[in-house]
Structure 1
Amino acid sequence: MGGGNSSPSPPQPLLSAPWRNLPQNKEEDLDYVKTYKLWNQDVSHLRILLYGPVGAGKSSFINSVDTVLQGRIAGRAPTDAISGSSYTKKYKTYKIRKGQGSHYPFVFNDIMGFEKDTDRGVDVDDVILAMKGHVEENHQFDPTQRLKEGNEGYRSSPTLNDRVHALVCVIPADKVSLVDDKVVKKMREVRLAASQLDIPQLAILTKVDLACPEVKQNLNNAYKSIYLKEQVDKINMLLGIPLNSIFLVKNYDPDPNINDDMNALIINALRQMITFGDDFLSDL
């Protein structure tokens, strides 16, 4: 990560055994998510915030979770594969329908992506304000002007409902080595602030199929891939996120077909986000 112009090393062979085991019963994680109930009755939902560099797949992950739980392709969080800059401009909460008139007791917040230039992408301070619950719904981010108390879009008295309960760093697995050092620094600052707020943190590496041909051929090879394990180790060293809190996923973008192996990776990561967030809420 960092260095700007270096190319990722070529994929390497697979390990004979996975370096992390997914549940043998793929329905186990899905059952956990579908039956999850909030432990803390003072909140109406568990809030998960996604952050990371531009184009990492934050919005696509939200759509992918929606797809798995709805059993059909979903695309409520807008994405754009060719803009080259953050397509997410507003702070928006995404709820996922559970049934007639009800939603799952967890929500996602997408946020503008980080860029290396100071006048582009989301400002670190705005992400920290979002974690604390100070950013109002549909606030339009302005890379040239930080959100401050008294500004439109600033929530002066956030409740526990407004705060972030789990923070997830999203990075494309095929471009870990290409993420600019300035972006890495911004992500570190967010992580440090989250640690001071005791907010649990995870990371997901998206686009695993683009990073490793063996995984593109068979998603079940994701946790056998030596190359992907190296990328996980890099994230661990650069951001300090524990190895057991870094997950591999392939989003439903642009894939139009429901796939059990994709579902297994997505839901496994989601289960851990919910578990960490629920632990955070139970400790308050």
Structure 2
Amino acid sequence: MGGSSSSSAPPRRPLLTTAWRKIPWGNKQEPLQDIKNFQPQHEDIEAIRVLLHGPVGAGKSSFINSVNNVLQGRMTHEALASSTTSDQSFTKYQTYKVKKEGRGNFYPLVFNDITGMEEGPGVRTDDIKLALKGHVKDGYKFNPSSPLSDGDHGYISSPTISDKVHVLVCIYSANASEMRSSVLQKMREIREAASDLRIPQLAILTHIDAVCGEIETNIKNVYRSKYLKRKMTDFSSRLGIPMNCILPVKNYSHEIQLNPDVDALILSALRLMIDFGDDYADTL
């Protein structure tokens, strides 16, 4: 399940007179510079680790790529993430870094993507808990019939603070059909596991331009769309994530140039991820 694609234009929908959330449109240099200058508060933290989860097609890979585009200041040719895997029966724990200016430099921020979490038996909740605690090595393929345990090749026996997840982010498509109960249950279990560890949580709502013609025409209408606000409210109640922790974005897909208004939404989401993750990491 994921965002549906259609060549037809999205429907026109009514707008609120004023936006219900403020975004600093047209001023991306200041938030971009803040992120470029960011260093974790905890001296032993190499990078803030963000764990992305959500249905196939929700836009996890596209979000990682879009963040890379914004931070690089250009459309990047090489995709950071792939939506395909050679073995669909396994769910892979993949880590992605974002390059910084200068040879060999990376932002102190990494993304972990649990691909295909809802297909077949899917990844076990116990394995997700191990990942949250930092016990899972990069590239490990989760086996739904055999949980990861100490002594296995993909197990980190003594995780560092940097191995641990510092913020959990659910990615979901605004254009998706109704969420299957099995997927919703899995996402709730992951949320509960993170809550037990006090890990902060956010949600990213993608494909917002595909559900509202006014947003497709002008991305600045995102917080004036009655339909999108209702979608966010429904998502909040179903998954239990507060509205102020749900951030709508438009991922880059067919564009060949950056759009400062698209960047503003991505930077807003990224800034909150970094702040939440850094505050949590500083308590470890």
- Give me the TM-score of the superposition, normalised by structure 1: 0.88
Aligned partners of 2:139 and 2:132: how far apart in 1? 15
State the match for 2:271 in structure 1. Answer: 271
Matched, 1:50 2:42: no
State the match for 2:7 in structure 1. Answer: none
Could you tell me how far 1:114 is from its partner in structure 2? Answer: 2.7
Matched, 1:76 2:79: yes
Is the CA contact (8 Å cut-off) linking 1:55 and 1:86 kept in structure 2?
A: no
**Secondary structure of the corresponding residue to residue 108 of structure 2:** strand
**Secondary structure of the corresponding residue to residue 57 of structure 2:** coil
Aligned partners of 1:228 and 1:182: how far apart in 2? 24
State the match for 2:154 in structure 1. Answer: 153
Matched positions, count: 272
Unaligned runs of 5+ in 2: 2-10
Alignment of 1:100-249 (within 5 A): 100=102, 101-115=104-118, 117-118=120-121, 121-175=122-176, 177-249=177-249
Higher helix share: 1
Is the CA contact (8 Å cut-off) linking 1:131 and 1:164 kept in structure 2?
A: yes
Q: Which one-letter code corresponds to 1:240 in the other structure?
A: G
Is the CA contact (8 Å cut-off) linking 2:188 and 2:239 kept in structure 1?
A: yes
Is the CA contact (8 Å cut-off) linking 1:49 and 1:108 kept in structure 2?
A: yes
Matched, 1:27 2:29: yes
Q: Which one-letter code corresponds to 2:234 in the other structure?
A: K
Aligned partners of 2:187 and 2:263: how far apart in 1? 27
Q: Which one-letter code corresponds to 1:139 in the other structure?
A: Y
Could you tell me how far 1:255 is from its partner in structure 2? Answer: 2.9
Aligned partners of 1:77 and 1:226: how far apart in 2? 34
Q: Which one-letter code corresponds to 1:63 in the other structure?
A: N
Is the CA contact (8 Å cut-off) linking 2:50 and 2:112 kept in structure 1?
A: yes
Aligned partners of 1:55 and 1:214: how far apart in 2? 23
Aligned partners of 2:21 and 2:159: how far apart in 1? 38
Q: Equivalent of 2:99, from 97, 100, 120?
A: 97
Aligned partners of 1:89 and 1:71: how far apart in 2? 32
State the match for 1:62 in structure 2. Answer: 64
Could you tell me how far 1:89 is from its partner in structure 2? Answer: 4.5
Aligned partners of 2:236 and 2:188: how far apart in 1? 11
Structure-2 change in CA distance of 1:58 and 1:196 (3 Å): same
Aligned partners of 1:99 and 1:62: how far apart in 2? 18
Unaligned runs of 5+ in 1: 2-9
**Secondary structure of the corresponding residue to residue 283 of structure 1:** coil
**Secondary structure of the corresponding residue to residue 23 of structure 2:** coil
Cα RMSD (Å): 2.4
Aligned partners of 1:61 and 1:204: how far apart in 2? 9
Q: Which one-letter code corresponds to 2:109 in the other structure?
A: F
Q: What whole-Å deviation, never above 9, does each CA across 1:244-283 have from its counterpart, x for those lacking one?
A: 1100111112333211111111111000000001110222
Aligned partners of 1:117 and 1:103: how far apart in 2? 35
Aligned partners of 1:71 and 1:229: how far apart in 2? 30
Percent of aligned positions with the same letter in both sequences? 49
Q: What whole-Å deviation, never above 9, does each CA across 1:80-138 have from its counterpart, x for those lacking one?
A: 49x9x9799432221111121311111111112332642xx333222222111111011
**Secondary structure of the corresponding residue to residue 174 of structure 1:** coil
Aligned partners of 2:23 and 2:88: how far apart in 1? 32
Structure-2 change in CA distance of 1:262 and 1:64 (3 Å): same
Aligned partners of 2:208 and 2:90: how far apart in 1? 22
Structure-2 change in CA distance of 1:146 and 1:65 (3 Å): same
Aligned partners of 1:87 and 1:200: how far apart in 2? 30
Aligned partners of 2:145 and 2:90: how far apart in 1? 16
Aligned partners of 1:142 and 1:257: how far apart in 2? 40
Aligned partners of 2:14 and 2:90: how far apart in 1? 36
Q: 90-99 or 166-175: which moved more?
A: 90-99
Q: 124-133 or 34-43: which moved more?
A: 124-133
**Secondary structure of the corresponding residue to residue 270 of structure 2:** helix
Q: Which one-letter code corresponds to 1:157 in the other structure?
A: S
Aligned partners of 1:202 and 1:184: how far apart in 2? 16
